[in-house]
Amino acid sequence: MTNLPKSLDPKTLAVLDGLSLRSRQIVEGLLAGSHRSPFRGVSVEFAEHREYVPGDDLRHVDWKVYGRTDKLYLKQFVDEANMHCSVVVDSSASMNYGADGTLNKYEYAQCIAIALSWLVLRNGDAAGAGLGNTKLQSWLPASTHPDQLNRLIELLQTVPSSLRSSEDFSFKSVLTETAERLSQRSVVYVISDFLMQLPPVFQGIERLRVEGHDVTLIHILDRDELDFPFDGVLQLTGLEDNQKVRVEAGVIADRYQALVSEYCEEFEAKSRNLGADYELFVTDVNLQTALLAYFQRIQSRRSS
């Protein structure tokens, strides 16, 4: 994984003004490599037949149908049919956190959403997206329309007022509304820092899984939230509720890091128990590095 384009470094992306410019850099960076779609080959469930076309692989011919009709038809499976993928991005206030000169969590989530959507559309499948915190604030149904990527960028580059609000929210409502909007089995990416009460989130995930959707949780954290690299006496202000607390950094650092590590491990374990994939992304990591590592993990799980 060498010679990665610097255009996908978070600090470089942060300099670009607006998601449309960042999206251009993201797409150009992904085009610089040979990226096989990570979305194919997930399922072997039979979907339908289609007529044989010269050049098709004869191994997929349904010979039983040929025996009945004297015509060649190929078995087509779910992973070969048009896939629908929707990316749901958390727009709550805590996503606005980020160190100066780099992307905040919401901006990093935007970039991941565009990268995934572009790969889906490039593969000829349908991509859509939604934003939400207390509810699903914006929704673009999955589509293969030639202008769909621009529509997704327009939706995602809107900065919701909720990024600056301090109101309580229930992300379960966002996931429930997402399930209600999906008209067919879909691949659903949920991108969030998940700094919230998790039991309601798991209820929303379970709803999506029961309805047959393939769910992946993209957990985004800032490096500060993992490592707590602070010294001295601090006054911390909650982004969600504006509550303030004074702490001695050196006193709580070790305990804080242990709790965050435990939180992430439990979150991943519970997610996988529900049949959802879990991936942790940290906002100071080169985006292409993070995505390539993620795609490689997908391929590894499929081949194991």
Over the stretch 148-190, which tens digit does the pLDDT of each residue have?
999 999 999 877 666 665 555 678 999 999 999 999 999 999 9
pTM: 0.80
pLDDT number for residue 208: 97
pLDDT number for residue 41: 43
Residues 113 and 258 in one domain: yes
Q: Which long-range contacts (CB under 8 A, 24 or more apart) does 78-81 make?
A: 78/43, 78/44, 78/45, 78/46, 78/47, 78/185, 79/40, 79/41, 79/42, 79/43, 79/44, 80/40, 80/47, 81/47, 81/48
Residues 125 and 183 in one domain: yes
Residues 21 and 110 in one domain: yes
Residues 62 and 206 in one domain: no
Residues 264 and 122 in one domain: yes
| Final residue of a structural domain among 59, 78, 97 | 78
pLDDT number for residue 133: 86
| Residues pairing with 233 in the sheet | 248
Residues 145 and 68 in one domain: no
Residues 92 and 124 in one domain: yes
Torsion angle in degrees (nearest 10) through CA of 178, 183, 188, 193: -10
Residues 57 and 170 in one domain: no
Low pLDDT (below 50) residues in the chain = 1-5, 34, 41-44, 78-80
Residues 123 and 272 in one domain: yes
In a domain, 26, yes or no: yes
Instruction: Compute the distance between CA of residue 156 and CA of residue 158 in angstroms, rounded to an integer.
Output: 5
Residues 63 and 139 in one domain: no
Q: What's the structural domain count of the chain?
A: 2
Residues 72 and 157 in one domain: no
Q: Provide the CATH number for the domain around residue 165.
A: 3.40.50.410
Parent domain of 97: 6-39+83-303
In a domain, 296, yes or no: yes
- DSSP state, residue 82: P
In a domain, 1, yes or no: no
Residues 152 and 63 in one domain: no
Residue with tokens 């439990």: 266
In a domain, 288, yes or no: yes
